[in-house]
Amino acid sequence: MPSEGQKSLLGMSLQDLARLLEELGQPAYRAQQIFDSIYRQRVPSTDQISTLPSAFRHELIDRGLSIGWPQIARRFTSTDGTVRYLIACADEQTVEAVWMPEGDGGESGDGSNAGAEKNPQPRKWDRATVCISSQLGCAVDCQFCLTALLGVKRNLTAGEIVGQVCAVLRDQHVSPPEDRINLVFMGMGEPFLNYENVMKAVRLLVEGVGVPESRMTLSTAGIVPRIYDFANEPVRPKFAISLNASSEEMRTRLMPINRKWNLASLLRAAREFPLRARERLTFEYVLLDQVNDAPEHARELAELIRGIHAKVNLIALNPGPGIDFQTPAEDRVLAFQRILVKTGIPTFIRRPRGRDIYAACGQLKRTVENASASPVPTSGD
C-alpha cells in the first residue's frame, strides 16, 4: 500500500481512471490500458505498465500515483493445503484471506493446463477457492464466531478487497478465468455492512480480474434491506444466507442481529430473491452441539425454507478460544443432513479447511501464534 502522499490506482474503476486521465490531459484510451495492466495482468508496479509511454509512466510516479498492491505480511500453511494470508493495509492493520485448493489436479483435473507456464511444478489441485474479507473485524456479534470478538475496526475499501484477491493470485501464480478460481465473501466482516465498497470490488473482480460472477458467492448474516438492493444489481455474485437457527428465539440468542431483522423478514427476502436460471440460494447452518443440531431443528429448518429453490451447507462448529459452544459429533451432523435430504433439500456438509492454522469458517481473528507461519518476501510497489 502506498505511503503518505501517494495515491493508489488499485480500486479505481474504468470511469475513475478516465476521469484521472482527463485531469492529466491524457487520451481516454489510456484508462483501459491502465485498467488491464492492474487488474488483468497484475503488473508489479506503475513503471511496468508497458502499454504506457515511458514519459507518462514517470509522470505517474512523480505524482505519487502507484498501483498500491498490498503486501502479504504473514502466510500460514495448513496440513490440508489451505493457506491463510495476513495482508497488510496502508494503516498497518492486517486483513485475512484464505486460499483453499481442491481436487487432485493432474489427470483428474479439468484438462486445462493453464498457469503451467508460470508455475512449472505439477499442480496438486484442479480448482481453488479464495475466501476474502470485507471489513476489519465485524460488528455483527454472532456468538459462535471468533471474528466477532474483535468488534469492527473499519470497512475495507474496494481496492483493499480486490487487493486481497490479487495478492493471493499473484502469490499462487494463478490467473482466472483460465484457472478455475472461486471467490467467497465469507472472511472477516459482514459484506452488507460495507455494501458500496463490496459491490464496487465485485465489479472490478468481474470486469477487471476476470472472475465470472457465477464463481463468486457473497454471504450475509441477514442485513435484510441490502438483500433487496443486491437483488437489483446488474452484476452480482451468487447469494448465501447464514441462517444458523430454526426459530426466532434461537436465532436471536445465536445472532443478536435477529432482533433488528428477524427470521421472518429474512425468509421473506429470501423467497422474493430473483434467482437466475439454474441458480440456487444457499443457506448456511453452523451446527452447535446440543443447541441447534437436534432432529427436530432439522425438521423445523426444512419447514422454514420449504418452497425456496435452495441448498443447505452444514458447517460443524469450528472451535476457538472464547467460544462457548461445542462441535457436534459426526453422527449428529449426518442425522441432521439426512432429515433435510429426505425432504428434498440438497444438503452438503462443509469440510473444515485449515482448522490447524485458524483458517476455517469463523476462525479468522488475526491469530499469529502458529509454528508454521512464514514471513513472506515483499514484491511490487
Q: Could you give the residue numbers annotated as active site?
A: 96, 361
Site for ligand SAH in 37-66 (CB under 6 A): none
Stretch that binds ligand SAH, among 29-37, 141-149, 194-202, 337-345 (CB under 6 A): 141-149
Residue from 85, 362, 367, 381 in contact with ligand SAH (CB under 6 A): 362
Stretch that binds ligand SAH, among 70-78, 115-123, 139-147, 196-204 (CB under 6 A): 139-147
DSSP category for residue 276: P
Output the residue with the shortest Cβ distance to ligand SAH.
362
Shortest Å, Cβ 162 to ligand SAH: 18
Length in residues, the chain = 381
SS3 31: helix
Residue 318 touching ligand SAH (CB under 6 A): yes
Name residue 311's beta-bridge partners: 282
Q: Which three cell numbers stand for residue 60?
A: 505517474
Closer to ligand SAH by CB, 96 or 284: give it. 284
Within 8 A by CB and 6+ apart from 67, the residues are: 8, 9, 10, 38, 43, 44, 45, 46, 380, 381
Nearer to ligand SAH, 286 or 339 (CB): 286
Number of residues that bind ligand SAH (CB under 6 A): 18
Cell numbers 459462535 correspond to: 144
Under the binding rule (CB under 6 A), the answer on residue 317 touching ligand SAH is yes
Could you tell me the smallest distance in angstroms from the CB atom of residue 358 to ligand SAH?
Answer: 10
- Give the residue with the Cβ less far from ligand SAH, 47 or 80: 80
Minimum distance from residue 263 beta carbon to ligand SAH (Å): 14
H or E stretch covering 153: strand 152-155
Cβ neighbours of 234 (radius 10 Å): 6
Is residue 9 a contact partner of residue 57, using CB atoms and an 8 Å limit?
Answer: no
State the amino acid at position 155 in one-letter form: N
Footprint of ligand SAH on residues 203-242 (CB under 6 A)?
Answer: 219-221, 242
Measured CA to CA, the distance from residue 356 to residue 78 in angstroms comes to 6
Q: How far is CA 246 from the centre of its chain?
A: 26
Give contact residues for ligand SAH (rule: CB under 6 A): 140, 142, 144-145, 186, 190, 219-221, 242, 244, 284, 286, 315, 317-318, 361-362
